[in-house]
Chains A and B, each alone.
Chain A
Amino acid sequence: MHRILLPALAGLLAGTLPLAAETESEGLAAIKAFTLEHNAALVTEAKRLRDLVGAYAATIAAHGNDYAAAWAAEGATLADGVRGIRAQWLVASNHYETIEGIVAGIPATARYDLILDAGNPGTEAEDVADYDLALPDGTVLERPGSLFHTITEPLFWGSDPGHAKLAADLDGDGQVGAGEMLFDANLALGATAGLVFWSEALMADMQAWEPNRDDAFTAVVTMTPTVGDYFGEWKESQFLGGAGAAFVAQSRLVDVLAIMGGCQRMYAAAVSPVVAAGDAALDAAITGAFADLLALVAETRDREVQGERFTAEEADALGAEAQDIAERVVAQVLQAAARHGVEIRG
């Protein structure tokens, strides 16, 4: 797993390196190019994920959709398949996480963040992922929630028992541990096809997006404060003894790192040239605050990877500190927005 995780993390952190831009227009263009690059990678990796799931489903189907019979006959193939699907899910998800701060912050593309990654099912009152998911067997799931975290992550990692078809000793250690199961191939096929479809739809809208100052400021102002929410999820996640069904594949801190990296990237590339032109001290302060924020998250993630445990007080302190820095960044960006007459939307 570390062979997959570490390059993925390194890639994420590389994504957090600010893009220095000479001018606002260059910066905006660079943001769009960066987002499209990762969006294209997301599409490619989502297709690979769909293909892997297709192979898994074909194995099950070859046994008349009898999971027990399939496991009895081709257990090793299925176990490899599940491992490969999980690894591929991480690759695809992390490409999206790298651009999530940008996609979710731009009003024209924000709905894709709900569909792909952050939206609630239609049973909730707000932030609903507004799409229906058609499955190969003809079932249509109405507004089922985000594809990555509501559907596929709990599905592939077995934290949603409703879609686990058969308990199975995937790692061959003689025991069936948590998350060891064969999942519903029908749902997996539909959901991964959905990932491909909506990733491509995002790509089309992102290509059509005309980068502008209001969107850049809005993205930073609306997405940066979410760091406190993500820390809240991290505290509640299984890594700190919580019992959440989502975020079992990897720590929520990986998401935080990527999302805040996206915010920092947007600031450095597209907003900083505007702020610096009128107030270099403010620009330096914001740039420094972003660096503080990213360092806090990266250090925390680093310690988590090394197996350190956090006390409740320290976890609270880290979350509160991250929230304080983020709110300071937002307030500072709002000062610049007021000076330049920028409209913050959303």
Chain B
Amino acid sequence: MRALAALLCLVLLALPLRAGTPWGAAETIRSEAGRIERLLFRAPSPERAADIAARLARMAAAWQAVAPAFGPEGAGVAAALATHAESAGAGAAPAAARNRQLLWAALTGAARARAFAAIAAGDAAAAANWLTVRDYARATGDAAATLAVQALGRGEIDAAAARAAVEGELLTVAASELRLALARAAEDAAAGHATRYAGDLGRAEGLVAYLGASLADHLGPAGMTALAADLARAATDPTRIAAIAEGLAGYAPVTLAPAERLRRARLLRRFAALVGEEYRDGVRGGRIIQPMEYHEAQLFRDRAAMILADLAPAMDAAAARRLADLLAAMKVTMAAKGEGVETLVAEALAAIDTTFGSEVAGAGYAAAVEALPAALDGLGRMAAAGDWAGAEARRLEAYSFFDPDIEQRLVPRAPAMALRLEARFWEGSAGRPGLAALVAARSGGAALAAEIAGIKADLATARARIETPTSALGSLVQSAGIVFREGLEAVLILAALLAALRAEGVAPARLRPALGLGVLAALAASFALWAAARSLFALSTLAREAIEGGTALLAAAVLLWIVRGLAAGGGHVAAFRARLAGIANPRTVGLLAFLVVFREGFETVLFYEALLVDAAPAPVIGGLAAGGAAALAAGWAVLATGRRLPLGLFFRATTILLGVLAVMLVGSGVRGLQTAALIGATPVEWFPDRDWLQLWFGLFPVAEPLAAQAAVLVLMVLPRRLRRRAPA
């Protein structure tokens, strides 16, 4: 033990001299008061008394050396120091615990006044020094005060702005700490921990004094009087703690800025989710199986409660109350090591998502751009460690940040860029393999590092495009572009089909209701899927791609069937028409209409949702109308052309058009299944790698979709060739 004691002394000697400056003295006082509180838990002894006396003397000396620097507020510190010394010297543990907290509150209050004076004088260095004597945000990592003082020193903001930022953070932290102190007091009272309870109450009293005028503004004179009375009564009657907490429920010293609210809401969600994960690992069958996980579950719940209290004043009251009840129920259940925590967590997460929206649900753009580089770094590390399964998981995680959160915002602005960036997460190109190809080939090193760096660079470019403010005209053009691009294919398919059928004598009027019904049902289904994915279930990126790809292939199959029917020809005209009428009946046309519209519908809704994040509704609606009109005009042109062209020529033209559209659908469908990781992707060098071919014709330099498209071509062309060769 001598070796241990000697080394402990060495540790202490290695400390820098902290006293000598006012802030250093404050830290000395803080530290020694804490050590005295710990000593007072031990049995009384002469050694203990001597140790406490020595520490009290050190505190007094530190204070004496710097007291004048604290200005008029120093008197309060001196009084608190004397009271603390008296109780600690007497060995009164609960009183010393309470007075320790009051002493710290007096120090922080005085230091705050000095910091404000330094800010007013434009002395950022002094302000920063004084601001080390304070409490910090323990759950949210706030640094606004530090950055404001730094900006003041650089001349970037004036004193008033710096003070506002500093004051806002200090008060917000104090309010949060006050709620924590009350929560701890309730727990310690229930556990019968008298010394800790006294310390909690002292902390609450000190923070009430620190919050001073801000709290008085909220509670009013009568409320402050009642609060003081409740705090005094709580010393002997712990039931008053609940009343105090209730009175402070709606208190927020400052209104959170939107960005700060968003950040806190995300943290709330993250902590709430972690409660479930940690508890699941920590407790099983009513037993703690991993103490660390159990402890973390409790810690994260407490932090979530602190953050909720910050957010609650600006929330819907019922939602805030519900979340508070859920967090309280988690605490009770976890304390009993009971079942049902995951259900409470799930309900809390749903409530958070409903209240704060998708940006908080971890699916938002801001969260995605923040998390994507880290996921890519993780991929690199996993690959470097030879953990290829982990690397693949990280790749998919990174891709899930890109699609949909970033892709949706990028597509309206730069669709080709979105397409290329997406390919980099998958097979890439023949000359430059993408992440999926590199991971599959277990190819790390420089190639993987270069691809990760390339994606990060592309991401920075994409962010610049996305985050550049959009003008009204730009919003209109983007909106029109979305609906034209996504809608043209469906409009052309349906118009060409109707025209071809009309040319063959099938009355279009018979098919119009089914067609309209199919389109309307697809639109309704798209919105329903969008709404359900927001509130009822999580639709993963890969599942969405699979739905889109699968629907496209199904649509292609139906279209191919109809086109083959159209192209079949031959034989008796009446028999052909009867056969055609059998294939192109209301049911198949309605189904086709549903599939071709639904295929793009869900994604189009997501694109518009993303566009409306930073564009005014009017130009977006204008663009929607203009783009829709343009697509419909294209469809009308197909129909109208049919009236002017010779019947045979028009029939062949529409059949070819439908065939081309079927090829496009197949290409998009296979591509969708590739980005859903359901089938592999092999880049080819021989096919041109052009944005316009991919965007408008679904022609990618990838072997699998090209092969499928070739097969479709063969299916359409071969029967016709065979018929020509067959004897009449």
Binding site for B on A (CB under 8 A): 6-7, 9-10, 13-14, 16-18, 20, 107-108, 111, 120, 124-127, 130, 205, 228-233, 235-237, 242, 244, 279, 281-282, 284-285, 287-289, 291-292, 294-296, 298-299, 302, 305-306, 311-314, 316-318, 320-321, 323, 325, 327-328, 331-332, 334-335, 337-339, 345-346
Contacts and interface: CB of A to CB of B under 8 A. Distances in A.
The 7 closest A-B CB pairs, nearest first, are A232-B295, A331-B136, A338-B143, A236-B291, A10-B3, A313-B193, A281-B129
28 contacts: A13-B11, A17-B10, A120-B290, A125-B281, A127-B281, A229-B299, A233-B295, A235-B291, A279-B128, A281-B128, A284-B16, A284-B18, A284-B23, A285-B18, A288-B27, A291-B12, A292-B35, A299-B8, A305-B1, A305-B4, A306-B1, A312-B193, A317-B193, A331-B136, A332-B132, A332-B136, A334-B136, A345-B374
Interface in B180-195: 184, 191-195
A125 to B, nearest CB: 6
A163 B199 CA distance: 47
Contacts of B296: 229
Nearest to A120: B281
A306 B150 CA distance: 49
A295 B23 contact: no
A20 B192 CA distance: 44
B377 A345 contact: yes
B291 A17 contact: no
Given A242-B291, A292-B31, A318-B38, A125 B280 contact: yes
Contacts of A235: 291
A237 B299 CA distance: 19
Interface residues of B, number: 62
Contact of B146 (A295, A325, A339): A339
Interface string B367-408: 000000010011001001101001000000000000000000
Nearest to A229: B292
Interface string B4-18: 110110111011101
Given A229-B296, A282-B128, A313-B193, A327 B280 contact: no
Interface in B103-136: 128-129, 132, 136
Contacts of B291: 232-233, 235-237, 242, 244
A187 B599 CA distance: 55
B15 A108 contact: no
A331 B4 contact: no
Given A284-B18, A291-B15, A305-B1, A10 B7 contact: yes
A316 B196 contact: yes
A200 to B, nearest CB: 13
Contacts of A237: 291
A294 B35 CA distance: 12
Contact of B5 (A302, A321, A328): A302
Contacts of B136: 327-328, 331-332, 334-335
Nearest to A6: B3
Contact of B281 (A9, A126, A284): A126
A321 B34 contact: yes
A314 B138 CA distance: 23
Q: In the complex, which of the residues A13, A16, A228 has the most CB atoms of chain B within 10 Å of its own CB atom?
A: A13
Contacts of B10: 17
Contacts of B184: 320
A317 B38 contact: yes
B41 interface: yes
Nearest to B389: A130
A325 B135 CA distance: 11
Contact of B137 (A17, A306, A311, A331): A331
Nearest to A279: B128
Q: In the complex, which of the residues A16, A20, A235 has the most CB atoms of chain B within 10 Å of its own CB atom?
A: A16
Nearest to A13: B7
A312 B38 CA distance: 14
A232 B7 contact: no
Contacts of B387: 111, 130
Contact of B196 (A10, A16, A111, A313): A313
Given A14-B7, A17-B11, A281 B23 contact: yes
A30 to B, nearest CB: 15
Given A6-B1, A321-B34, A126 B292 contact: no
A294 B11 contact: yes
Contact of B277 (A7, A125, A229, A299): A125
Interface in B438-473: none
Nearest to A313: B193
Nearest to B3: A10
Contacts of A311: 41
Nearest to A286: B132
A327 B385 contact: no
B62 to A, nearest CB: 12
A244 B291 CA distance: 8
B1 A317 contact: no
B372 to A, nearest CB: 13
Interface in B30-62: 31, 34-35, 37-38, 41
B294 interface: yes
B228 interface: no
Contacts of A317: 37-38, 41, 193, 195-196
B456 to A, nearest CB: 13
Interface in B273-312: 277-278, 280-281, 288, 290-292, 294-296, 299
B33 to A, nearest CB: 11
B528 interface: no
Contacts of B294: 232, 236
B459 to A, nearest CB: 15
Contacts of A282: 128, 132
Q: In the complex, which of the residues A9, A127, A331, A334 has the most CB atoms of chain B within 10 Å of its own CB atom?
A: A331
A17 B191 contact: no
Nearest to B288: A236
A220 B124 CA distance: 27
Contacts of A9: 3-4
B87 interface: no
A335 B5 CA distance: 34
Q: In the complex, which of the residues B5, B38, B192, B195 has the most CB atoms of chain A within 10 Å of its own CB atom?
A: B38
Nearest to B281: A124
Contacts of A279: 128-129, 132
Nearest to B146: A335
Contact of B11 (A16, A231, A306, A334): A16
